[in-house]
Amino acid sequence: MNHTRLSTSAALLAGFTLSMPTLAAFLDDSHARIDLRNHYINRDFRQDNAPQAKAEEWGQGFTARFESGFTEGLVGVGVDAMGQLGIKLDSGRGRRGTGLLPYGPHNLEPADDYSELGLTGKLRISRSVLRLGTLQPILPVVVYNDTRLLSSTFQGGWLTSQDIDGLTFNGGRLTKANLRDSSGRDDIGYGAASSDHFDFGGGTYAFSPQLSLSYYYAKLDQIYRQQFVGLVHTLPLGQGTSLRSDLRYFDSRGDGAEKAGRVDNRNFNGMFTLATGAHKFSATFQQMSGKSAFPFLNGGDPYTVNLVTYNTYTRAGLDSWQVRYDYDFVALGVPGLSFMTRYTDGRHARVGDIDNGRERERDTDLTYVIQSGPLKDVSLRWRNVTFRSGNGLTNALDENRLILGYTLALW
């Protein structure tokens, strides 16, 4: 953990506190909660000559969050804080590698625990908010990861503005990343290459509640430049039925010294979802062109429709499609119970000497949120994954995940 950076942030936040003209709104609009997540993963590697027969780990995660309101006046001041703790319940040197727990680079033993403290200062003027410190953006060009015990975070500055009706603008700079299974902050980067900073800017304009258009530009200094255009439209079809279209296009190219090798990727992907009553039927496509894989920040996830439970479908040349079905059992008188299944297939992947690799994955989720009694709002999720590759690619696995979650609101 970078104690110098935390001390600097704490001093900055203390200065903000001392300058507050009033604490009323700061405290009255504040919220605090604790998120608990118990996560078990069993991954059985099915390919021949796998270096590890299986990966199996179990852990408990705690995330405490405090979000203040803003002080009164022309410039409102606030502060957010987040503390994360992950505890090993079961693991071992021969069963590591699920992403739940960090492990030593030399002895390969999973850590007994790991943690992070994040502080964020906030300034508000009108309908614009500047955040400095620990950040968790969900934007087309940077998405934090929240799929294990603890979530990843970034360090930097982030401005969000809604001063123009219908337009949401986001811009900023990130300099560090803390991965989902790490206590330390690393330089921002992609793959094995690191950079001094990652800059981003863009926004979404809502023409109506049913139609919005987005554009973003981002640059990971001396590694890659990326442009994004997205269009989302919802078509009401009457009687509880609608068709949602979500189209996304990325243009990613190398920047400067190109420390990660030549980045050259165009990614056009989209999802169409027909929702009617308790049912949702979805179909996706994703087409890659260019000479490299699709780039995204370490510590984050790609903002693509075929990001699924295990695979990202972002290899060079990989064209993929997906069919998905969701059902809400409230229609059968069982509120809180939901089901999802999907199948994703990708072909023409280029990896080294392989130019027609294939990847396919089947996922099933069954989730139940307890509706009443002393365990009200406790969620239980079972995730089942089958992944296979071929045509030169050799990865194969069967996986089960059991996730128990609960959010305790403090105030």
Intervals of the chain under pLDDT 50: 1-8, 10-21
Question: Quick check: helix, strand or coil at residue 14?
Answer: helix
Q: What is the pLDDT of residues 43-65, one digit of tens each?
A: 999 977 778 889 999 999 999 99
Question: Any long-range contacts for 206-212 (C-beta under 8 Å, 24+ apart)?
Answer: 206/166, 206/167, 206/168, 207/166, 209/234, 210/234, 210/235, 210/236
Hey, what's the torsion of the CAs at 105, 111, 113, 114, to 10 degrees?
10
Question: Quick check: helix, strand or coil at residue 58?
Answer: strand
First vs last C-alpha separation in the chain? 29
Q: Give kind and range of the element (H or E) at residue 7.
A: helix 3-18
| pLDDT computed for residue 133 by the predictor | 98
| pLDDT computed for residue 54 by the predictor | 93
What span, in angstroms and rounded, lies between the C-alpha atoms of 358 and 318? 8
- Residues near 85 by beta carbon (within 8 Å), at least 6 away in sequence: 61, 62, 63, 113, 114, 115, 150
| pLDDT computed for residue 3 by the predictor | 46
Q: What is the mean pLDDT of the chain?
A: 93
What span, in angstroms and rounded, lies between the C-alpha atoms of 100 and 96? 9
What span, in angstroms and rounded, lies between the C-alpha atoms of 399 and 164? 47
| pLDDT computed for residue 260 by the predictor | 59
| pLDDT computed for residue 259 by the predictor | 61
| pLDDT computed for residue 290 by the predictor | 96
Instruction: Quote helix, strand, coil % in the chain, to nearest 5.
Output: 5, 60, 35
Output phi, psi for 397, to 5 deg: -160, 155
| pLDDT computed for residue 26 by the predictor | 75
| pLDDT computed for residue 262 by the predictor | 87
**What is this structure's pTM?**
0.91
Question: Quick check: helix, strand or coil at residue 242?
Answer: strand
Under DSSP, the state recorded for 35 is E
